[in-house]
Amino acid sequence: MADNERIEILGVPVDFIDRDRAVEKFERSFPEPGVTMIVTPNSEIVQRASKEPELCSLIGKADIIIPDGIGLVYASKIIGRPLKERVTGIDFLETIVAYLEKNGKSIYFFGSKPGVAEKAAENIRKKYPQLKVAGCHDGYFKPEEEAGIVGEINDSGADFLCVALGAPKQEKFIYDHRNELRVHGAIGVGGSLDVWAGTLKRAPEFYQKHGLEWLYRLIQEPTRIKRMSALPVFMLRVIAGGRRK
């Protein structure tokens, strides 16, 4: 499996990649000049991007597009370009953290409710004690505060930026500021900081193994039912041949 190949699901690009290739791609791209932009779309985001050309094009501009979700793996099988596995954003983030720790690089945690990023940083440092945390900032801000936050991230001297604002807000933030940000890489991670902080439980292994993390999440956050009801529609559209709406 080469690491620079992309497939299209409902017209939305996704890297034709497995976990190991994604890590290799990151390690090659991170030291290069500019911000290595990593997005981790699941089927919900792909479904949305298939109807929002701007979001679709933003995803396509990322350096690494990780297939984060069992729905994308099923969809890839249906279109005859089977992805080997899904690569969850939270697992990939941990791989990045391990890389940063090993290489003496620092990370900035931006997003989630006040206190969550700090708690997530504290907890992940129990596992990666040498990890340098350049700073933290919560994800609730007014539009006029955005430029100041970019300034804070830059002033912290962080090498890598983790953005947890939910999709597609986090992807837009990274993309909109990619030319001002002085970090070497940035990833949008949804609720990962909540999981690391312990405010949201990750699905037990049984659910993870059987591709049922979405079900566990639904049990924890029943209000997601409306968002998740898009998923059967997503699968049907893939089966029906993709681009037709």
Q: Give the interface with ligand UDP as residue ranges (CB under 6 A).
A: 111-113, 139-140, 164-167, 190-191, 193-194
Tell me the closest approach of the beta carbon of residue 147 to ligand UDP, in angstroms.
17
CA distances from 34 to 48, 99, 125 (A): 28, 18, 27
**Alpha carbons 66 and 38: distance in angstroms, whole number:** 7
**Closer residue to ligand UDP (CB): 13 or 139:** 139
Tell me the closest approach of the beta carbon of residue 63 to ligand UDP, in angstroms.
19
Q: Name 160's bridge partners.
A: 107, 185
Helix axes 70-78, 230-239, angle to 10 degrees: 20
**Closer residue to ligand UDP (CB): 147 or 239:** 147
**Closer residue to ligand UDP (CB): 21 or 234:** 234
**Closer residue to ligand UDP (CB): 160 or 173:** 173
Tell me the closest approach of the beta carbon of residue 31 to ligand UDP, in angstroms.
28
According to DSSP, residue 223 is labeled: G
Tell me the closest approach of the beta carbon of residue 17 to ligand UDP, in angstroms.
20
**Alpha carbons 44 and 60: distance in angstroms, whole number:** 16
Q: Using the structure block, give the residue that is written with the tokens 């954003």.
A: 89
